[in-house]
């Protein structure tokens, strides 16, 4: 018999709905007992466990033997995690505890924070189809950050806070990346968009800005910028009040790698990273995208390890997370050599047209490797591990 330790903070009809979900799981499974408990042991709080990066961050802490308090927006997210072959053993052992806290902008982390010494906030709304920049993305991102820091402020045990920012908060999105060859981007760089400039872009109804960036992507990246700026304001205010916790902003480039979060069909819709990779296996005429946000990449497992080390080391600062330059034409030309028996299913694109080489792009200078010492996976390993996982999910009918 297994005991599942699950916690949530809900009232009224949501509480009833959550109870029904858990009861249904108990009936369908061989586990006859579900113990609903609140634990106060020392732990790390991770937001976004059902996301592409957040799942790996939580898993990394679990693999390092840390108790994890993972937060969910909705009780509907519980069952997929309970049924996950990756996460269910940790739930059964009590090492992973789940807390339903509500949507980001109204989340209540009170119970989830109990016993926590470190916080890793990866969750962020990623709707690049939003039409209202202020309400659809900016307010949600900033208010979501506010809820986290309000909870941190009430928790005297907190030693470190790590947030996931975005390369879009850092690089020049007023210029197409293919026109940035030779430019140097550092940990101290910020994109120059103002809120008013994004308002004007949205009001124009233009599908892209002058540099060719999709308007929805511009909105997302600027929202990430201002959410991070808000986090630094909170850090400085906390320092002035005598708080001693550290704040680390991890700034990922394009995150690639095998998905481990609970996935519901269709596979193409599970995350942007999965979509742009999986499209390369949908036939020779399938679209080969230009890199959607950054021509630099990082393996999701390496990025998760960086989040882990940042939380443990407690270093305050901004750190770009990027291991090298890539493009999808390079990947689609690599795939037939890795899977010769499936060569006919891969996109052809434009052989030899390697945007990462011609015209190239900006160069990154970051103190990440020096201070955190993560050994990065190469692109071939990332591609092989990703498609091994995607083919496995395909066989499962996803």
Tens digit of each residue's pLDDT (9 = 90 or more) over 35-46? 433 333 368 999
Residue 292 pLDDT: 61
**DSSP type of residue 130:** -
Q: Could you tell me the residue ranges of all domains in the chain?
A: 6-395
Which SS3 state, helix, strand or coil, does residue 127 take?
coil
For range 182-197, the mean pLDDT = 94
Q: Quick one: average pLDDT of 349-374?
A: 87
Residues 104-153 have pLDDT tens digits of 999 999 999 999 999 999 999 877 777 788 988 899 999 999 999 999 99
Q: Is the peptide bond before 142 cis (omega within 30 degrees of 0)?
A: no
Name residue, tokens 């509500």.
102
30-51: b (≥16 Cβ within 10 Å) or e: ebeebeeeeeeeebbbbbbbbb
pTM of the entire structure? 0.88
Q: What value does the mean pLDDT take over residues 337-361?
A: 89
The CATH architecture of the domain made up of 6-395 is 3-Layer(aba) Sandwich (3.40)
The Cα-based distances of 345 to 80, 174, 276 in angstroms read 30, 36, 15
Banded pLDDT at 32 (limits 50, 70, 90) = very low
The alpha carbon of 220 is separated from its chain's Cα centroid by a whole number of angstroms, namely 13
Q: pLDDT value at position 269?
A: 65
């Amino acid at each position: 018999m297994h005991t599942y330790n699950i916690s949530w903070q809900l009232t009224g009809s949501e509480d009833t709905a959550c109870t029904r979900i858990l009861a249904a799981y108990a009936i369908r499974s061989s586990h006859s007992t579900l113990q609903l408990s609140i634990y106060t042991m020392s732990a790390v709080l991770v937001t976004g466990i059902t996301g592409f990066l957040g799942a790996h961050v939580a898993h990394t802490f679990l693999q390092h033997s840390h108790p994890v308090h993972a937060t969910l927006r909705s009780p509907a997210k519980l069952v997929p995690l309970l049924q996950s072959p990756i996460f269910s053993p940790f739930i059964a052992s009590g090492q992973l505890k789940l807390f339903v806290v509500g949507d980001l902008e109204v989340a209540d982390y009170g119970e989830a924070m109990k016993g926590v010494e470190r916080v890793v906030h990866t969750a962020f709304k990623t709707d690049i189809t939003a039409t209202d920049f202020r309400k659809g993305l900016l307010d949600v991102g900033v208010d979501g950050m506010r809820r986290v820091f309000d909870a941190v402020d009430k928790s005297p045990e907190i030693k470190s806070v790590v947030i996931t920012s975005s390369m879009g908060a850092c690089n020049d999105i007023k210029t197409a990346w293919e026109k940035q060859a030779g430019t140097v981007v550092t940990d101290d760089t910020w994109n120059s968009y103002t809120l008013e400039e994004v308002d004007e872009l949205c009001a124009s109804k233009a599908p892209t800005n002058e540099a060719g960036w999709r308007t929805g992507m511009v909105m997302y990246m600027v929202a990430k910028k201002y959410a991070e700026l808000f986090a630094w304001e909170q850090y400085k205010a906390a320092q002035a009040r005598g708080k001693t916790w550290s704040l680390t902003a991890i700034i990922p480039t394009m995150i690639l790698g095998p998905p481990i979060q609970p996935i519901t069909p269709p596979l193409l819709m599970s995350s942007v990273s999965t979509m742009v990779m999986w499209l390369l296996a949908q036939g020779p005429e399938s679209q080969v995208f230009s890199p959607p946000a950054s021509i630099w990449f990082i393996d999701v497992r390496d990025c998760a390890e960086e989040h882990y080390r940042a939380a443990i080391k407690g270093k305050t600062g901004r750190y770009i997370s990027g291991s090298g330059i890539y493009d999808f034409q390079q990947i689609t030309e690599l795939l037939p050599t890795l899977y010769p028996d499936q060569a006919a299913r891969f996109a052809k694109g434009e052989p030899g047209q390697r945007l990462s080489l011609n015209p190239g792009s900006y160069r990154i200078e970051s103190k990440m490797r020096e201070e955190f010492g993560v050994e990065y996976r190469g692109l071939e390993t990332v591609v092989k591990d990703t498609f091994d996982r995607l083919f496995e999910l395909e066989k499962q009918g996803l």
